[in-house]
Amino acid sequence: MTGARFPMFRRRNYSIRQKLTSMNMLVSGAALLLACTAFAIYELADFRTTMVNSLSTQAQIIGANSASALLFNDAESARNTLSALQASPNIISASIYTRSNNIFATWSRHGGEDAPLFPGIPTGQTLTYSFGGNELVLTRVIDFQGKRIGAVRIRSDLSEVSGRLVRYTGIVAAVLAMSLFAAFVFSSIFQKATARPIAQLADTARIVSREKKYSVRAPTTTNADEIALLIEAFNEMLGQIQERDSALQAGRDELELRVVRRTAQLEAVNRELESFTYSVAHDLRAPLRHIQGFADALIEECSGQIDEAARGYLTRIIESTRRMDQLINDLLGLAQVGRQELRVQPTKLDPLVNDVVRDLNHETQGRNIEWRIGDLPTVDCDPGLIKLVFHNLLSNAVKYTRPRDPAIIEAGQQTVEGERVIYIRDNGVGFNMKYAHKLFGVFERLHRREDFEGTGVGLATVQRIIHKHGGRIWAEAAVDRGATFFLTLPTAGQSKTL
C-alpha cells in the first residue's frame, strides 16, 4: 500500500469508505512503521554499544586474569583464561598480546586459527573496535597496576545482532499487520458514522438526477455533524424543488388552460372572419355588378338621350366599380393568405420564376424587356404562395419599368452578411426612400393612380406571405433609378415550423 506509484491510486475510483479505511490504515501503518523503525534503530545502535561494552568488560576481565600469566610468561595459563570465553556463545576467538605487540596466547572456538597480527590501538585510547563482515573485533589494553603490560583482542560474531534484527523485523511486521487489521476493522465499524451517510447521500443524489424523482429523501443520521447538516440541507433542497416543480406545473396547467381558451376564442374569431370574408365576397360584389351592368346599359341603350358629360360620368362610374372589384379581390387574397396553412416543401425557385415570367407574357406583349434571371436556390416554401410573391414582384417590376426601353428586370441571389438573400431588381421609376416605410402597408401607394394603376394591396400580401415563411423582405430604391426588393427564405432543410 505505501510507496505504491500513483496510477494505482487513481483517487476517483475509490469510494469514500475505501478512502477512509485506507487513510486510517495508512496513517496507523506509517506511524507504527516510523515508531518501530526508530525504536529498532535505537535498539540496534544501543545494542552495538552494549555489545562493545560487554566485550570490553570481558576483555578487561580477561586482561586482569591474565596479567600474572603475562608477567610470568605463562602462556598456558593465559590460554586457559582465554578459553573461559567459551561460555560466551558469540565469541569466535580471542588473543592476548605482549607489551611489544607480539601474540602471547590465542584461543579459538573452532580451533585451528592462525595467530592474527596485532591490530593497533591508537595512542591515548584504551580500546579500539570495529564492526565488519559479521563480526565485532575489539582490542583492549591490559593495564596492571597502572602499567600497560599487553593487550587482549576478542572477536565476536554479530549473529546475535542479526538475530535480534530478524526478531525485531518479525515483531514489527506482526504488530504492523495486526494494527492494520485493527485499523481496518475499526475503520469499517466507524465508517458507519461518516462514510455510510455520505454514500447514502450520494446514492440518493444519483437516483434523483437519474430518475428525476424529487420525492425521495436521503436517510438522516442521528449525528449533529456537518454530514448531518449536509443531508438536512439536501433534503430541504429537494423539498423546495418539489414545491417549485408543483408550482411550475400548476402554472403550466393554468397556462395550458388559458391557451386552450384563447385558442378556442381565436378559432371562433377566425371562423367569424371566414364567414365575414365569405359574405363580403358575395354580397359586396353583387351590387357592384349591378352598378356596372346598368351603367353600361345606360351608355349602350340611351346613347341618344345622354350627352357627353353624362356619358363621361357613367364611364367613371363603371371604372370605379372595376376598381372596387379589384380591391375586393386583392383584399380577399390578402385575407386568404393570412388564413391559409402553409404547405411547405423544398421548391426549386428557378423553374417557378420562369413560370411566372411566362405568365406575365401577355402583360409584356410589345415591350422590350430584358430578363436577367440568375441562379436561384431551392427553398422550403409553399410553392403556390411563393409563386404569388414572385408574380406580384415581377409584375410590379414590369409595371414600373413601362417608361423604360429596354426594361431590365433581374432576379438572383447574393450573400449579404453571411445570409443568402434573393433580389429582384428593375431599372424602372423607383421610389423615394423617404416613403420606404409605407411600402408594404395595405392600400399604401407611392405613386399616383393616374401614373401607375394598382390597389396597394399587392405588396402587403407579399410581405404577409414572406413573414409566414419566417423570412424578411425589404427594398432599396432611388427616384428614377429603379428599385431592388430583397427577401430571405429558409434554404431547403432549414425551415422553421410555424
Partner 1 sequence: MTAPAGSILRLRRAAARPSIRACLAAGLIFGGLAGLRAQTQKPTEYEVQAAYLSNFGRFVEYPARTSAASDVFNVCVLGPDPFGSLLDAALRNEAINGVPMAAKRIGTPEEGAACRIVFLTVSKESQLTAILSTLGATGALTVSGMPNFARRGGMVQFILDGNRVRFEINLAAAQRARLTLSSQLLKLAVAVRRAP
Partner 2 sequence: MSEAASILLVEDDPHDVELTLRAFHSENVQGRIEIARDGEEALDYLFCRGAFRSRTPDQQPALVLLDLKLPKVGGLQVLREVKASVECQSTPIVVMTSSGERRDVTESYRLGANGYIQKPVDVAEFRKAIRALAAYWLGVNLSPSRSRPGQVSAMPAPGAR
Beta carbon of residue 101, minimum distance to partner 1 (angstroms, whole number): 9
Task: Map residue 428 onto helix, strand or coil.
Answer: coil
Single residue of 2, 13, 123, 145 touching partner 1 by CB under 8 A:
145
What is the CA 174 to chain-centroid distance, rounded? 49
Task: Map residue 366 onto helix, strand or coil.
Answer: coil
Instruction: Compose the 272-291 pattern: x for residues touching partner 2 by CB under 8 A, - for all others.
Output: ------x--xx--xx-xxx-
> CA dist 60 to 100, 122, 288, Å?
19, 17, 151
Helix (H) or strand (E) holding 425: strand 419-426
DSSP state of 291: H
What is the CA 350 to chain-centroid distance, rounded? 45
Beta carbon of residue 70, minimum distance to partner 1 (angstroms, whole number): 8
Which of partner 2, partner 1, none sits in contact with 322, Cβ below 5 to 8 A by type? partner 2
Of 144, 150, 162, 159, the residue nearest 88 (C-alpha): 159
Of 88, 108, 96, 93, the residue nearest 67 (C-alpha): 96
Q: How many residues bind partner 2 (CB under 8 A)?
A: 19
Of 430, 449, 432, the residue nearest 327 (C-alpha): 449
Nearer to partner 1 by C-beta: 155 or 404? Answer: 155
Which of partner 2, partner 1, none sits in contact with 294, Cβ below 5 to 8 A by type? partner 2
Beta carbon of residue 95, minimum distance to partner 1 (angstroms, whole number): 11
Beta carbon of residue 109, minimum distance to partner 1 (angstroms, whole number): 17
What's the rounded Cα separation, in Å, for the pair 498 and 493?
15
Which of partner 1, partner 2, none sits in contact with 282, Cβ below 5 to 8 A by type? partner 2
Nearer to partner 2 by C-beta: 301 or 419? Answer: 301
Q: Is 321 an interacting residue with respect to partner 2 (CB under 8 A)?
A: yes
Which of partner 2, partner 1, none sits in contact with 67, Cβ below 5 to 8 A by type? partner 1
Which residues touch 305 (CB under 8 Å, ≥6 apart)? none
Which residue type occupies 32? L
Beta carbon of residue 112, minimum distance to partner 1 (angstroms, whole number): 13
Instruction: Compose the 210-229 pattern: x for residues touching partner 1 by CB under 8 A, - for all others.
Output: --------------------
Instruction: Compose the 152-191 pattern: x for residues touching partner 1 by CB under 8 A, - for all others.
Output: ----------------------------------------
Which residues touch 399 (CB under 8 Å, ≥6 apart)? 428, 452, 453, 454
Q: Is 302 an interacting residue with respect to partner 2 (CB under 8 A)?
A: no
Single residue of 32, 52, 75, 205 touching partner 1 by CB under 8 A:
75
* Segment interacting with partner 1, rule: CB under 8 A, options 34-42, 47-55, 74-82, 288-296: 74-82
3-state secondary structure 133-186: CCEEEEEEEEEECCEEEEEEEEEEECHHHHHHHHHHHHHHHHHHHHHHHHHHHH
Which of partner 2, partner 1, none sits in contact with 341, Cβ below 5 to 8 A by type? none
Which of partner 1, partner 2, none sits in contact with 79, Cβ below 5 to 8 A by type? partner 1
Single residue of 2, 10, 87, 100 touching partner 1 by CB under 8 A:
100
122: cis peptide before it, omega within 30°?
A: no
Q: Which residue has the cell 359586396?
A: 284
Q: Is 297 an interacting residue with respect to partner 2 (CB under 8 A)?
A: yes
Q: Is 293 an interacting residue with respect to partner 2 (CB under 8 A)?
A: yes
What's the rounded Cα separation, in Å, for the pair 78 and 94?
11
Q: Which residue has the cell 432611388?
A: 478
Single residue of 22, 40, 84, 99 touching partner 1 by CB under 8 A:
99
Beta carbon of residue 274, minimum distance to partner 2 (angstroms, whole number): 10
Of 439, 484, 318, the residue nearest 447 (C-alpha): 439
Per-residue b/e over 130-148, b at no fewer than 16 CB within 10 Å?
eeeeebbbbbbbbbbeeee
Which of partner 1, partner 2, none sits in contact with 105, Cβ below 5 to 8 A by type? partner 1
What's the rounded Cα separation, in Å, for the pair 116 and 153?
10
Task: Map residue 239 onto helix, strand or coil.
Answer: helix
Nearer to partner 2 by C-beta: 300 or 417? Answer: 300
Which of partner 1, partner 2, none sits in contact with 296, Cβ below 5 to 8 A by type? partner 2
Q: Is 294 an interacting residue with respect to partner 2 (CB under 8 A)?
A: yes
Q: Which residue has the cell 445570409?
A: 419
Residues in contact with partner 1 by CB under 8 A are 65, 67-69, 71-77, 79, 98-100, 102, 104-106, 144-145
Residues in contact with partner 2 by CB under 8 A are 278, 281-282, 285-286, 288-290, 292-294, 296-297, 300, 318, 321-322, 324-325
